[in-house]
């Protein structure tokens, strides 16, 4: 059933429709049992995030404990000795957490299955700033400590450190990590194209490698015959080995196993194309509706550009589809790819899927190219009539990408679809049109079961943040909100 959002509040259903919905929707008791189970699942996910964060800091405490147990770590003389030892502890904790961050970002299947990839990414991001502060403290405290012990000033000591073997590389590692952390700040990330952000993040690998030599040559952290040496070598091997395996080797194997190629390009709207892909056993990619992959198209003009793009349809045995909007030079070139081009894939990734559900009802809100994961999620979800409500938002007819497919899916499953077309309110504090604001339309009026629904939101970042803010104000629990952001 297709309606405009301005049709709310809705007219009462007919007698026939009431009977159909009564028979199709399970009793309230069954929904309550399912809701309790899903709430428990949500609490487990939150607990898993906390546990993963605790384990990260436990590993750092192990590194410090091993250093404290080593000979000479307690021989503190004067203020210079205290500052130096504090700097060593800050460096040990920071380095340990950096390696933990690499493990969490490696997309290790065991970690993803045990804790959830979203939890791993959340902890990975939460460690960024503490690590940066610890690294800055490491450099500052050691400089002050060495200077106090030698009777020199900070500037003279900094010059002396630069003349020490391997220390310039350590300073380079600090600068590289500083660049990575700054690029991840929301205000900076919004202004960077994905390929630039991705390239900058690769610098974290270089930062780890260039910082290693000074651990070997300065101090006694990796002294021969100590447990410290065993611990640090093991941690480096595990972190870098998992990155090499799951971020590089596995994607190469997946790519050659499925032999993905471009089958055709279909224009959906001005600046928007669907790329139809052909390959071998693509249904065995394990992709769920709502997930994305990092795609690389091997042509002369696109091979250097990795594109994170959602599946716009659930992959079948020999075919798959993604839909791309022209958001920059890299994505614009994809519309001009010649059929037959070879394609490599990293993924599928993401938890914007039905597996993340914790509530009995489903509310889907999408705008712009954010329609793509919502469309595949809807296709991949077993729904009862009346269980799901979809709201599609567009500025004009040119932004109604794949709306007809969403309408067909909603109609086939007996669920409701709303459309909201028009320019955003002049206040810019609402995600709706000016007319919708005047009519008093809200998430609660469009989704009558909002508080008993999992809310999936996908669209431009600023717009989707406004939708999520209204949902939180309406009382939707945090674990029932699932957000996938697109930059435009």
423 or 71, higher pLDDT:
423
Taking only the tens place, the pLDDT of each residue in 195-230 is 677 778 778 888 888 887 777 776 666 666 678 888
Is pLDDT of 394 > 80?
yes
C-alpha to C-alpha distance for 346 and 268, rounded to whole angstroms:
25
Strands 361-367 and 388-394: parallel
Q: Please tell me the predicted confidence (pLDDT) of residue 201.
A: 77
Q: Which of 376, 455, 381, 363 is nearest to 42 (CA)?
A: 455
Taking only the tens place, the pLDDT of each residue in 40-53 is 555 555 676 788 88
Q: Please tell me the predicted confidence (pLDDT) of residue 132.
A: 87
C-alpha to C-alpha distance for 39 and 289, rounded to whole angstroms:
22
Q: Please tell me the predicted confidence (pLDDT) of residue 190.
A: 66
What mean pLDDT is predicted for residues 233-246?
Answer: 91
What mean pLDDT is predicted for residues 483-487?
Answer: 68
SS3 letters across 354-369: HHHCCCCEEEEEEEHH
Taking only the tens place, the pLDDT of each residue in 73-117 is 556 678 888 898 899 899 899 999 999 999 998 888 888 777 767
Q: Please tell me the predicted confidence (pLDDT) of residue 165.
A: 79
DSSP secondary structure of 245-266: IIIIIHHHHHHHHHT-EEEEEE
**Count of residues in the chain:** 488
pLDDT-based confidence at 455, cuts 50/70/90?
very high
Q: Please tell me the predicted confidence (pLDDT) of residue 19.
A: 33
What mean pLDDT is predicted for residues 32-59?
Answer: 68
- The pair phi, psi for residue 153, each rounded to 5°, is -85, 170
Total-model pTM: 0.72
Q: Please tell me the predicted confidence (pLDDT) of residue 404.
A: 94
Taking only the tens place, the pLDDT of each residue in 116-132 is 677 788 888 888 889 88
Sign of torsion over alpha carbons 120, 123, 125, 128: negative
Taking only the tens place, the pLDDT of each residue in 309-329 is 999 999 999 999 999 987 655
Q: Please tell me the predicted confidence (pLDDT) of residue 157.
A: 81
What mean pLDDT is predicted for residues 159-172?
Answer: 81
Is pLDDT of 21 > 50?
no
C-alpha to C-alpha distance for 102 and 203, rounded to whole angstroms:
12
Sign of torsion over alpha carbons 100, 101, 105, 110: positive
Q: What is the DSSP letter of 336?
A: T
Cβ 417 vs Cβ 2: under 8 Å: yes
C-alpha to C-alpha distance for 296 and 262, rounded to whole angstroms:
11
What mean pLDDT is predicted for residues 236-246?
Answer: 91
Helix 117-126 and helix 78-105, axial crossing angle in degrees, nearest 10: 150
C-alpha to C-alpha distance for 93 and 96, rounded to whole angstroms:
5
**Which tokens sit at 11?**
């007219």
Taking only the tens place, the pLDDT of each residue in 375-384 is 999 999 999 9
Give me the percent of the chain exceeding a pLDDT of 70. Answer: 82
Residues in a beta bridge with 343: 297
How many Cα atoms occupy the beta-carbon half-sphere of 437 within 13 Å? 13
Whole-number mean pLDDT of the chain? 82
Taking only the tens place, the pLDDT of each residue in 270-307 is 889 999 999 999 999 989 999 999 899 998 888 878 88
Cis preceding-peptide flag for 348 (omega within 30 of 0): yes
Least confident window among 18-27, 215-224, 229-238: 18-27
Q: Please tell me the predicted confidence (pLDDT) of residue 61.
A: 93
Least confident window among 4-8, 144-148, 387-391: 4-8
């Amino acid at each position: 059933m297709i309606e405009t959002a301005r049709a709310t509040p809705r007219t009462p259903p007919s007698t026939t429709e009431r009977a159909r919905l009564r028979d199709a929707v399970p009793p309230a008791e069954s929904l309550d049992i399912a809701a309790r189970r899903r709430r428990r699942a949500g609490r487990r996910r939150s607990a898993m995030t906390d546990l993963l964060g605790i384990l990260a800091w436990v590993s750092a405490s192990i590194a410090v404990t091993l250093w404290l147990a080593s000979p000479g770590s307690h021989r503190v003389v004067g203020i210079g000795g205290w500052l130096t030892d504090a700097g060593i502890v800050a460096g040990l904790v920071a380095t340990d957490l950096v390696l933990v961050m690499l493990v969490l970002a490696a997309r290790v299947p065991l970690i993803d299955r045990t804790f959830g990839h979203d939890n791993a990414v959340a902890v990975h991001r939460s460690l960024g700033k503490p690590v940066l502060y610890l690294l800055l403290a490491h450099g500052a405290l050691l400089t002050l400590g060495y200077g106090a012990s030698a009777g020199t000033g900070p500037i003279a000591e900094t010059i002396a450190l630069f003349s020490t073997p391997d220390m310039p590389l350590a300073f380079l590692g600090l600068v590289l990590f500083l660049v990575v952390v700054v690029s991840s700040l929301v205000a900076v990330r919004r202004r960077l194209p994905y390929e630039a952000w991705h390239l900058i993040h690769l610098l974290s690998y270089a930062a780890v490698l260039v910082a290693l030599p000074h651990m070997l040559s300065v101090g006694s952290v990796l002294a021969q015959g100590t447990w410290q040496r065993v611990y640090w070598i093991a941690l480096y091997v595990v972190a870098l080995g998992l990155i090499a395996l799951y971020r590089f080797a596995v994607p190469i194997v997946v790519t050659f196993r499925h032999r993905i190629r471009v089958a055709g390009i279909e224009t959906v709207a001005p600046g928007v194309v669907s790329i139809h892909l052909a390959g071998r056993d693509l249904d065995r990619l394990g992709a769920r509706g709502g997930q994305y992959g990092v795609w690389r198209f091997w042509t002369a003009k696109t091979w250097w550009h990795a594109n994170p793009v959602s599946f716009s349809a659930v992959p079948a045995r020999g075919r798959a589809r993604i839909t791309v909007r022209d958001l920059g030079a890299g994505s614009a070139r994809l519309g001009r790819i010649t059929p037959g081009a070879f394609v490599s894939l990293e993924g599928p990734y993401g938890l914007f899927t039905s597996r993340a559900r914790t509530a009995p009802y489903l509310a889907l809100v999408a705008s712009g190219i954010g329609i793509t994961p919502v469309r595949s999620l809807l296709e991949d979800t077993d729904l009862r009539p009346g269980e799901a409500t979809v709201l599609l938002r567009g500025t004009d007819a040119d932004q109604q990408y794949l709306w007809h497919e969403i309408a067909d899916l909603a109609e086939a499953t007996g669920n409701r679809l709303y459309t909201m077309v028009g320019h955003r309110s002049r206040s810019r504090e609402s995600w709706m049109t000016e007319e919708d604001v005047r009519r008093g339309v809200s998430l609660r009026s469009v989704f009558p079961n909002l508080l008993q629904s999992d809310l999936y939101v996908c669209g431009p970042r600023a717009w989707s943040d406004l939708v999520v803010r209204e949902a939180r104000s309406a009382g939707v629990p945090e674990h029932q909100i699932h957000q996938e952001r697109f930059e435009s």
